[in-house]
């Protein structure tokens, strides 16, 4: 019985070994590079339509808050530029992709409304209801001393995360560390849609036995969606903290500023490592010095080590005092 | 193998259940060279069912250590038990080994050290010896060391184990010689 992690570690070591001894390191590098290129090519809707030659999206496919889009619309109004809609109208009707497919929110779908989005029921439906539900693309996960830290997610020091969804909403949740530390909550006290979250302020709460803990919101924003599945069954967060276990979707028009205030991937990795060290010190202060080697902390550390103090744990790690 | 004639204290290497005596002798040779104590190889425990946890399908190492320390023969300085069973303590997924800090008994499991059939026997033996020296270090009251290359560094994975050296850092070396005198 071996853990997943050890197998991947062994695999990684073996891959490295193979790539040096078999001399196929060049092949590996190429592979990595092309993966990266794929990630970087995010054609702006103006480029995808053929209206401009080259422009990649840097606004999370949220055209409504995009300065480039606004400037281009102005050019169109001044008669200096063909609109992306007109550019698409030059295509055969079956090749006229819906703008939501072009911005990667949707599987390819043909526009039946001649790009008059304001008269499209589907567009209204998508904007109002679907946008914050569209799945975040598959993500790679790094592991720091037994705790998962996904790439592309931004971390807050109160052990919460934020990630940008295509369309510009921000999804938030609790991180793997907090969920493994505190175990499965008996209840999540989640606010309703329309409530405003404030960064660094208690945004929601969790309950375990008779213990309560406030959780600080990692971002400012208005809640546009609550994960009902997680509300009904908090264990969903423990089993998939960065996927199905998300908690809210919020709207905030200043996405770049929001992200800047959080930790990027490298910072999140380093910080998680330090938090694990702090936790181990705390465990040793309760259980005595560890005289073992090997292994990682089992989920539900609070439940597995009766001497740990809930208040002290949540104050230190959720920063909620 | 018994080079413990005379009155010197010795380190007892104790294979558990059917663990190979031949491999135990090899581990004993390495450990004896390292610490400079005579070695005796002697099975103390024929079975460890009392430490089995059926929910986890693993053996609780702390219980085995308690039992071993009650069985220590005269002049036995430290007991190093070796098993191929998978060990755990409650807060961790598994352990490669556990020791009684500043106590008499420690145990090492080979269960997770031999992960790959293509690994050479020497590589596996090297890991077992590293873990044995690490756990014996704990019985000499050494705590975990922040130095990644020190043998007292706490390793979560085999990658970490392979990265650390088979020696104490200068700091731990001093603590060890203090403890041994
Ligand atoms: Zn140790
Ligand atoms: Zn050291």
How do residues B33-91 score in pLDDT, each as one tens digit?
999 999 999 999 999 999 999 999 999 999 999 999 999 999 999 999 999 999 999 99
Q: Which of A127-131, A158-162, A287-291 has the highest mean pLDDT?
A: A158-162
A17 pLDDT above the threshold of 60: no
Can you give the residue ranges of every domain in chain A?
18-133, 135-321
DSSP state string for chain B: -B---SS--EEEEEE-TT--HHHHHHHHHHHHHHHT--EEE----S--GGGEETTTTEEEHHHHHHHHHHTPPTTEEEEEEEESS-EE-TTBS-BSEEE-TTSSEEEEE-TTT---TTS-HHHHHHHHHHHHHHHHHHHTT----S-TTSTTS--SSHHHHHHS-SS--HHHHHHHHHHH-
Residue B5 located in a structural domain? no
CA of B101 to the centre of ligand 1 (A): 9
How do residues B119-132 score in pLDDT, each as one tens digit?
788 899 999 999 99
B4 pLDDT above the threshold of 60: no
The ligand with the least distance to the CA atom of B95 is 1
Residue B62 located in a structural domain? yes
What's residue A117's pLDDT? 79
- Hey, are the CB atoms on A293 and B90 less than 8 Å from each other? no
- Hey, are the CB atoms on A293 and B96 less than 8 Å from each other? yes
- Hey, are the CB atoms on B94 and A3 less than 8 Å from each other? yes
Contacts of B58 in chain A (CB under 8 A): 1
Among B95, B115, B156, beta carbon nearest to A2: B115
We report the CATH number of the domain holding residue B37 as 3.40.390.10
Which residue range forms the structural domain that includes residue B39? 10-180
Among A13, A145, A305, beta carbon nearest to B156: A145
Residue A120: φ, ψ to 5° = -100, 120
CA of B11 to the centre of ligand 2 (A): 22
Higher-confidence residue of A321 and A230: namely: A230
This prediction has a pTM of: 0.73
**Which range has the worst mean pLDDT, A219-223, B4-8, B164-168?**
B4-8
pLDDT mean over B1-28: 85
**Class for domain A135-321, per CATH?**
mainly beta
Q: How far are the Cα atoms of A170, A175, A204, B10 from residue A153, in angstroms, in the given order? A: 10, 10, 20, 55
Instruction: Supply the mean pLDDT for chain A.
Output: 82
Instruction: Supply the mean pLDDT for chain B.
Output: 93
CA dihedral B48, B54, B58, B61 (to 10 degrees): -50
Q: Which residues pair with A173 in a beta bridge?
A: A161
Interchain contact B157–A (C-beta under 8 A): yes
- Hey, are the CB atoms on B97 and A1 less than 8 Å from each other? no
What's residue B72's pLDDT? 95
- Hey, are the CB atoms on A296 and B93 less than 8 Å from each other? yes
What's residue A106's pLDDT? 66
B3 pLDDT above the threshold of 80: no
How do residues A174-225 score in pLDDT, each as one tens digit?
999 999 999 999 999 999 999 999 999 999 999 999 999 999 999 999 999 9
The ligand with the least distance to the CA atom of B173 is 2
What's residue A154's pLDDT? 97
Interchain contact A231–B (C-beta under 8 A): no
How do residues A76-99 score in pLDDT, each as one tens digit?
988 999 999 999 988 888 888 888
B149 pLDDT above the threshold of 60: yes
Catalytic residues of B: 135
Higher-confidence residue of B105 and A7: namely: B105
What's residue A7's pLDDT? 41
Residue B56 Cα, gap to closest chain A Cα (Å): 10
What's residue A120's pLDDT? 73
Q: How many domains does chain B have?
A: 1
Residue of B88, B157, B160, B175 to mutate, testing the A interface (most A Cβ within 10 Å of its Cβ): B157
Tell me the percentage of chain A whose pLDDT exceeds 90: 56
Residue B24 located in a structural domain? yes
CA closest to A181 among chain B residues? B91
Tokens of A169: 């909403």
What's residue A99's pLDDT? 84
How do residues A272-295 score in pLDDT, each as one tens digit?
999 999 999 999 999 999 999 999
- Hey, are the CB atoms on B91 and A1 less than 8 Å from each other? no
Confidence class for position A137, pLDDT limits 50, 70, 90: low
**Which range has the worst mean pLDDT, A132-136, A143-147, A209-213?**
A132-136
């Amino acid at each position: 019985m071996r853990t997943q992690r050890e197998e991947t570690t062994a695999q990684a070591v073996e891959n490295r070994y193979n790539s040096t001894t078999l001399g196929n390191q060049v092949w590996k590098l190429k592979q990595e590079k092309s993966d990266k290129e794929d990630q970087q090519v995010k054609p702006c809707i103006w480029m995808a339509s053929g209206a401009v030659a080259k422009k990649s999206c840097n606004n999370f496919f949220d055209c409504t808050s995009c300065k480039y889009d606004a400037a281009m619309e102005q050019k169109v109004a001044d008669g200096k530029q063909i609109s992306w809609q007109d550019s698409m109208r030059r295509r055969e009707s079956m090749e006229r992709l819906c703008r939501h497919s072009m911005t990667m929110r949707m599987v390819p779908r043909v526009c039946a409304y001649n790009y008059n989005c304001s008269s499209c029921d589907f567009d209204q439906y998508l904007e109002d209801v679907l946008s914050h539900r569209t799945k975040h693309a598959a993500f790679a996960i790094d592991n720091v001393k037994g705790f998962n830290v996904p790439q592309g997610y931004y971390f807050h020091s109160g052990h919460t995360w934020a990630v940008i969804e295509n369309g510009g909403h921000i999804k938030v949740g609790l991180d793997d560390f907090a969920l493994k530390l505190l175990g499965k909550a008996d209840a999540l006290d989640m606010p309703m849609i329309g409530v405003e979250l404030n960064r660094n302020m208690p945004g929601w709460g969790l309950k375990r036995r008779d213990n309560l803990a406030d959780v600080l919101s990692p971002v400012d924003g208005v809640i546009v969606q609550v994960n009902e599945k997680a509300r009904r069954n908090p264990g969903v967060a423990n089993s998939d903290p960065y996927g199905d276990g998300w908690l809210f979707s919020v709207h905030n028009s200043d996405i770049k500023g929001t992200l800047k205030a959080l930790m990027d991937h490298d910072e999140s990795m380093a910080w998680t490592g330090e938090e694990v060290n702090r936790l181990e010190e705390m465990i040793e202060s309760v259980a005595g010095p560890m005289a073992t080697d090997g292994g990682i902390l089992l989920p539900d550390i609070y439940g597995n080590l009766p001497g740990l103090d809930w208040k002290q744990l949540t104050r230190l790690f959720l920063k909620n005092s | 193998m018994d080079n413990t004639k005379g009155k010197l204290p010795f380190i007892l290497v104790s294979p558990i259940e059917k663990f190979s005596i031949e491999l135990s002798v090899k581990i004993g040779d390495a450990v004896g060279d390292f610490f400079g104590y005579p070695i005796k190889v002697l099975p103390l425990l024929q079975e460890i069912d009392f430490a089995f946890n059926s929910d986890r399908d693993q053996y609780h190492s702390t219980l085995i250590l308690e039992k071993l320390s009650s069985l220590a023969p005269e002049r036995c300085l430290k007991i190093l038990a070796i098993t191929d069973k998978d060990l755990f303590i409650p807060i961790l997924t598994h352990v490669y080994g556990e020791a009684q800090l500043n106590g008499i008994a420690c145990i090492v499991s080979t269960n997770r050290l031999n992960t790959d059939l293509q690994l050479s026997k020497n590589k596996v033996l090297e890991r077992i010896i590293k873990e044995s020296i690490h756990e014996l270090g704990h019985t000499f009251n050494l705590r975990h060391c922040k130095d990644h290359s020190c043998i007292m560094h706490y390793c979560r994975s085999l990658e970490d184990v392979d990265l650390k050296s088979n020696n104490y850092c200068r700091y731990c070396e001093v603590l060890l010689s203090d403890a041994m005198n």
